[in-house]
Amino acid sequence: ERLVGAAADGEDQAVEAALRPKDLDEFIGQEKVREQLDLVLRAARARGATADHVLLSGAPGLGKTTLSMIIAAEMGAPIRITSGPAIQHAGDLAAILSSLQEGEVLFLDEIHRMSRPAEEMLYMAMEDFRVDVVVGKGPGATAIPLELPPFTLVGATTRAGLLPPPLRDRFGFTAHMEFYEPAELERVIHRSASLLDVEIDADGAAEIAGRSRGTPRIANRLLRRVRDYAQVKADGVINREIAGAALKVYEVDTRGLDRLDRAVLEALLKLFGGGPVGLSTLAVAVGEERETVEEVAEPFLVREGLLARTPRGRVATPAAWTHLGLTPPRQGAG
Ligand code: ADP
């Protein structure tokens, strides 16, 4: 498990419930999404109707599950949580849909990973609140229509572009969640610290925020590791010095790069003069699988403007040299 990975690990799952904002006012950042969602929900409430289906797109750990729970809470409705990979057969989906209560929120995480037949069943369910349950096989098979109570589907996906257009079009409201600004993450950290009964000053929160990759889940996780360090090595109070020392132990640097990220950058700079170098060559140099370099390390390096993927290979940017404290070779030298 990576300390700066965005997917939830076991410990995250255990503590996140306690850290989740309960309503829109408590939800930090994402101003546009919050404002728009507030209107959608208020309007539905005023009409006494079930809210429109909502599609949330954005990277893991940005608050999609949290928002779906907030939608349910704001609508005074129960919520059912499932995910695309958990629904492999249309029958799985039919079972869930037919057991929903009126107005219930169905949160479908990783909706782009549902099977095709389930997806097609979902089209009709979203539009007409109806499913056809197929009974039997072959020529004798019959479709039995089943009425569903109105419900609100909240779909989550890493990228809305991954969804087939017919599915995308059936959402009344689509929200794109952005990575958080450091100042917003500082607020997340202060809020979580107070819920966890941890003392932290402004500089300490800023130090953790800067290393959290724009992601509240990572901010909360780093906060817990820094808290441990502060308890064992100091008086439990987190300031800039303690946060920096703790995250040094965990090898998370000032920009949130971990050991793997730095190994990739270092190889690129020191062994290949900043590139261009092919992905496979780079992977061999760091002793990792191609996929690990491409899918685990590179996305954040690219986002941070430290590495570029070009047709000729991977290239380091000037910022990469600066970040590792190295001097780029002079142009045209050698
Ligand atoms: P996702 O479903 O997008 O992977 P989650 O909703 O599970 O992300 O959020 C991960 C953690 O980050 C949760 O524990 C939640 O408390 C915290 N979090 C996410 N967004 C916010 C926010 N806007 N304000 C405060 N905490 C947040």
The average confidence (pLDDT) of the chain is 95
Q: What's the rounded Cα separation, in Å, for the pair 76 and 230? A: 40
Residues whose beta carbon lies within 6 Å of some atom of ligand 1: 16, 19-21, 27-30, 60-66, 188, 216-217, 220
Q: What's the rounded Cα separation, in Å, for the pair 109 and 114? A: 10
Can you tell me which atom of ligand 1 is nearest the CA of 20?
16
How far does the centroid of ligand 1 lie from the alpha carbon of residue 175, in Å?
15
Can you tell me which atom of ligand 1 is nearest the CA of 12?
14
Contact 243, 209 (CB under 8 A): no
How far does the centroid of ligand 1 lie from the alpha carbon of residue 71, in Å?
14
How far does the centroid of ligand 1 lie from the alpha carbon of residue 102, in Å?
27
Query: How distant, in Å, are the alpha carbons of 90, 97, 140, 286 from that of 137?
Result: 14, 22, 6, 53
Contact 216, 61 (CB under 8 A): yes
Can you tell me which atom of ligand 1 is nearest the CA of 191?
25
Residue ranges at the known binding site for ATP: 19-20, 61, 64-66, 127-129, 170, 180, 217
Contact 271, 285 (CB under 8 A): yes
Contact 58, 176 (CB under 8 A): yes
Q: What's the rounded Cα separation, in Å, for the pair 151 and 102? A: 6
Q: What's the rounded Cα separation, in Å, for the pair 27 and 64? A: 11
* Joined tokens for residue 28: 């930090």
Give the tens place of pLDDT for each residue, 260-272: 999 999 999 999 9
Contact 318, 307 (CB under 8 A): no
Dihedral pair phi/psi, residue 107, rounded to 5°: -95, 120
Residue ranges at the known binding site for DNA: 290, 309, 314
**Which residue is closest in CA terms to ligand 1's atom 12?**
217
Q: In a mutational test of the pocket of ligand 1, which residue from 217, 218, 223, 224 has the highest number of ligand atoms less than 8 Å from its CB?
A: 217
Q: Which pLDDT does position 17 carry in this prediction?
A: 87
Low-confidence ranges of the chain (pLDDT < 70): 331-334
Q: What's the rounded Cα separation, in Å, for the pair 125 and 122? A: 5
How far does the centroid of ligand 1 lie from the alpha carbon of residue 21, in Å?
8
How far does the centroid of ligand 1 lie from the alpha carbon of residue 28, in Å?
9
DSSP string, 209-225: HTTSTT-HHHHHHHHHH
Give the tens place of pLDDT for each residue, 153-212: 999 999 888 899 999 999 999 999 999 999 999 999 999 999 999 999 999 999 999 999
Residue ranges at the known binding site for Mg(2+): 65
Q: Which pLDDT does position 332 carry in this prediction?
A: 57
Which of these, 333, 299, 127, lies nearest to 215 by C-alpha position? 299
Q: Which pLDDT does position 334 carry in this prediction?
A: 47
Provide the 3-class DSSP secondary structure of residue 79.
Answer: strand
Q: What's the rounded Cα separation, in Å, for the pair 221 and 211? A: 11
* Joined tokens for residue 45: 């409430």
**Residue found by looking up tokens 């370099």 in the block:** 293
ipTM exceeds 0.95 = yes
Query: How distant, in Å, are the alpha carbons of 56, 120, 147, 208, 287 from that of 158?
Result: 8, 20, 31, 25, 29
Catalytic residues: 64-65, 109, 158, 217
Eight-state DSSP code of residue 129: S
* Joined tokens for residue 270: 């020191």
Which of these, 256, 260, 269, 162, lies nearest to 214 by C-alpha position? 256
